[in-house]
Amino acid sequence: MASNHNRSVGAFFAGVFMVNSLGHFATAIAGKQHLTPLAGRRSGPAVNALWGAMNLAGGLALARR
């Protein structure tokens, strides 16, 4: 039972990370500034692309578990 619960929690957070990456990638493509933990409120497109990639990688890693 605990294994199924852990899998569900992992799948949930994988989805959260992957969905979060979409907004950061879209902001990076649009060339706008958007809040990230890496550079605060003035995060430019490059930082948003990096943060989006980190979120996508984390989500994919959790999904593969």
Task: Say yes or no to pLDDT of 1 above 90.
Answer: no
Q: How far apart are CA 41 and CA 44, in angstroms?
A: 9
Range of the domain at 41: 2-64
Q: What is the pLDDT of residue 50?
A: 96
Q: What is the pLDDT of residue 65?
A: 81
Q: What is the pLDDT of residue 2?
A: 67
pLDDT digits (tens, 9 = 90+) for 3-35: 788 889 999 999 999 999 999 999 999 999 999
How many domains are contained in the chain? 1
Beta carbons of 48 and 25 less than 8 angstroms apart: yes
Phi/psi region, residue 43 (left: phi>0; alpha: psi -120 to 50; beta: rest), is beta
Q: Once rounded to an integer, what is the mean pLDDT over residues 26-50?
A: 94
Q: Once rounded to an integer, what is the mean pLDDT over residues 43-61?
A: 96
